Amino acid sequence: MMTEQHDVECKDDMMSETKKEEIPWLKSLIVFCNNVSVVGLSYVLNPSSSAIRRSIWFLLILAGALFTACQIQDRIQYFYRHPVNIIIRQEYEERMVFPTVTICNENQASLSKMTSIGTCCDVFILLGLCLLF
C-alpha cells in the first residue's frame, strides 16, 4: 500500500512538472500572438472565441501563408531563369531644336547698386572682398 501511494505521488509530481513546463510556453505563445502584427493571429488563440471561429481564422492564416509561399517560390524560379527582354529603338533626327537656356545672375549685390553707395573698392573693402590688383 505504501508503494502504491508513493507511485501515485510520483505520477502527480511528474504531471504537475509537465503542466508547469507547458503553461509558460503556452502563455508566451498567447502573448506573442496578441502582440504580433499578423492580422487574425490573436483570434486563433483567443480562449473566449468558439472553436469554429478559431478554426476559420487558422485556415485563413494558413491559406495566406501558403499563397505567399507559392508567390515567393514562383518569383525565385523566375529569377533563376534569367529572362532578358531588350527593345532598342533608334531614331535619327536631321534637325534638332536646341533647348532654351536661361543664365541667372546669382550675385547678391549688383554693380550699379554698389556704385550708388560709394566707390566700388570701398564696397569691396566693407564686404571683405577686396582684391589686390
Range in 3-7, 28-32, 37-41 the model is least confident about: 3-7
**What pLDDT, on the 0 to 100 scale, is given for residue 98?**
84
Q: Mind listing the pLDDT tens digit for each residue in 43-82? A: 887 788 889 998 999 999 999 999 999 999 999 999 999 8
Residue type at position 56: I
Contacts of residue 49, Cβ cutoff 8 Å, sequence gap at least 6: 43
Tell if the pTM clears 0.85, that is, is over it: no
Q: Mind listing the pLDDT tens digit for each residue in 80-127? A: 998 888 899 998 888 888 888 888 777 676 767 766 666 555 555 555
Smallest Cα–Cα separation from 34: which of 46, 26, 42, 43?
A: 42
**What pLDDT, on the 0 to 100 scale, is given for residue 94?**
87
